[in-house]
Structure 1
Amino acid sequence: MIKPIDRGGLLLPECQLWLDPRKRKSFAVISHAHGDHVASHDCYLATPETIALIRVRNGNAMANRAKVLPFGEVYVGPGYRLRFYPAGHVLGSAMVYIETDAGDTFLYTGDFKTRQGLSAESIEIPQADTLVMETTFGRAEYVFPSFEATCERVHAFCDRAQVDRHTPVLLAYSLGKAQEVLKVLATRSQTLMVHKSIAAINQVYNAYEQVMPQTRPLDFLNMRESIVVMPPAVLKKLPRKDCLVAMVSGWGMNDSAKYRYGVDEVIPLSDHADFPDLLQFVDVVAPQTVYTTHGYQQEFAASLRARGYAAWSLVGEDQLEWAFEP
């Protein structure tokens, strides 16, 4: 059975394959285009959508070093076959499925979301012997409201700002979250104004048939009668007078979130799976062994062990527990 190792990214020694390493490698797999999963490798495997996003965010030189692997196609490596399955996280995000010549099967999720969103491919979940999964929201208190309820909250926030004669400003990361928010806002009559980093990514989404609503460039001097969507990093440049500001994040489930972000409201829309969805995901994969990574990895591994799974975090004290079991 494949045994993964955390080395600033995931290493599969049996296959000599790196998945989402944070330092440059001669060859690696990149699951999606968020910066914490991307490094300037000599050569890497990714979906065409991810490569297009890397071209916008990281430049032509890095994009040109990619090997393209669309969903449904197979890459043959030394002793293994690899395919991508949609992860539902952002456009082009992929789970990595590997079958070895010995017949072992392995699934690495990268970041993923099981609920259907508006701006990413629907997740497809294969079964595998070994599962490595991200557990950002791997504690029982993280149960997100329904998508419909969250959309209503976005609209209610904008309505409240309008009634108070304020400009509604929604803070959303440029890749993935901003596009989901814009899709939610598409039915509104106000002008949608976006930061240039979001506009550039919208063009990639449009090219891959995730059609974005029409927007205008962000202009801090002329925001009246508009709804503004911009990344959190730009908040310090925003003239706060006459603005109502909401952060869009799954961490909005925490009562302290609006004080931590320094905003008027935090709307809990996430591109990750919540606790019940993480549990259901594992049941569908039906693995013999689970390794958890990111977020509440030790806590979620313990929850899985309580349900009868052989589950351990890739780093942490439960590895010691595992090492001394008979």
Structure 2
Amino acid sequence: MSGKIHRQDASSIFPSSTEYRCNLVPCGHVLGSRSLLVSRGDSSHQETARGAARDGIEFFYTGDFFTQPDRILSALAPVHTEILACECTYGTPFFEFPPYEVLAREITDWIATSLNKGPIVLYGYPLGKNQELLALLNPFSVDTPIIADEDTCACVDVYRDAGIPLPPCEPYRAYNRGKFFEKEHRWILLLPLNSRFDERYQKLDRTGCRRAAFSGWTLDAAWLEEWHVDAGFPLSDHPSFSNLVSFIEDCAPATLLLMHGNGTLLRHRLLDKMVGPLRNAVPRDTRIIALKP
């Protein structure tokens, strides 16, 4: 990794004579992830979230975040702020996801149908995505072994310790010693997405298992084709394009910094008042800056 570190005198951003408060608020991306809110004086996140007027300079750094309810983690609420530094992973209109209840039903229907034909492998991320998938697997845990790689299992333990109920899953190593995967015809395996072509899991090729990938990027047919799976579902822990625009609108920043995505394209879309759904997306006087990766 290479790059340059640019130092900025904080006094040029926040006057030294003013007292500021920093709050870390849950942002719904993965367990433990936080967004940063810097407020002046006695203003609080709760007051701002209810729509209180901006109290001097405020800075809201989202990091990776999620905005929709009905998931295993609380969603991030918009905050009325002077400066918003916002991720835009899916900052193009192409990335629109189904409502969660619709997507969850599509996923569980596919799992039920596929299990009638044989075992299945689900590819997500060890932290965050695979715990969401495990929660969806609860109805199948009664009569189907649920197995996961060691990293996913370790993260599941952390989620349980935090009070998030998840169905049981067993570590892959406990089943890998014998011929379980070859002999049994009904099991569910959770693996990291980047393990799809890992040599450690080559024996799965002989089981006739069906495979599915889970990411917002599955909407991109070319991306999905590279993974050689039977299905893809846009289960994401980032906001879709329309949810991202709504979040920015509700924050109503005076300055908007776009990062971690195609900020240039999103900036043009936000400023294009002739696009119907985005006509009033941001205040007319908002300054929008797309930060380069």
User: Which of 55, 64, 88 is equivalent to 2:28?
Assistant: 88
The change in CA–CA distance for 1:289 and 1:192 in structure 2 (over 3 A counts) is same
| Distance in 1 separating the partners of 2:224 and 2:249 | 34
User: Which of 188, 191, 203 is equivalent to 2:157?
Assistant: 203
Matched to 2:221, the amino acid is D
> Among the aligned pairs, what percent are the same residue?
25
User: Which of 163, 166, 170 is equivalent to 1:212?
Assistant: 166
Matched to 1:98, the amino acid is V
TM-aligned CA deviation for residue 265 of structure 1: 1.4
Higher percent of residues as strand:
1
User: Which of 232, 236, 250 is equivalent to 1:270?
Assistant: 236
Q: Give the greater-gyration-radius structure (CA).
A: 2
Alignment of 1:49-88 (within 5 A): 79-88=19-28
Match of 2:45 in 1: none
The change in CA–CA distance for 1:14 and 1:217 in structure 2 (over 3 A counts) is same
2:260 alignment partner, SS class: strand
Structure 1, 297-306 or 128-137: larger mean CA deviation:
297-306
| Distance in 2 separating the partners of 1:16 and 1:240 | 59
Q: CA RMSD in A?
A: 2.4
Indicate if the aligned counterparts of 1:86 and 1:92 stay in contact, CA closer than 8 A. yes
1:168 equivalent in alignment to 2:120? yes
1:212 alignment partner, SS class: coil
Matched to 2:30, the amino acid is V
Matched residue count: 249
The change in CA–CA distance for 1:227 and 1:85 in structure 2 (over 3 A counts) is same
Measured against aligned partners, the alpha-carbon deviations of 1:61-103 in whole angstroms (never above 9, x if no partner) come to xxxxxxxxxxxxxxxxx95320012211111221100024693
Matched to 1:109, the amino acid is T
Question: What's the TM-score, normalizing by structure 2?
Answer: 0.78
1:283 alignment partner, SS class: helix
Match of 2:88 in 1: 135
| Distance in 2 separating the partners of 1:187 and 1:293 | 38
| Distance in 1 separating the partners of 2:58 and 2:244 | 20
| Distance in 1 separating the partners of 2:40 and 2:8 | 11
1:240 equivalent in alignment to 2:205? yes
| Distance in 2 separating the partners of 1:9 and 1:201 | 32
Indicate if the aligned counterparts of 2:217 and 2:224 stay in contact, CA closer than 8 A. no
User: Which of 260, 270, 287 is equivalent to 1:310?
Assistant: 287
| Distance in 1 separating the partners of 2:149 and 2:84 | 38
TM-aligned CA deviation for residue 112 of structure 1: 0.6
Question: What's the TM-score, normalizing by structure 1?
Answer: 0.70
| Distance in 2 separating the partners of 1:8 and 1:173 | 30
| Distance in 1 separating the partners of 2:153 and 2:31 | 15
Indicate if the aligned counterparts of 1:169 and 1:229 stay in contact, CA closer than 8 A. yes
User: Which of 247, 251, 254 is equivalent to 1:285?
Assistant: 251
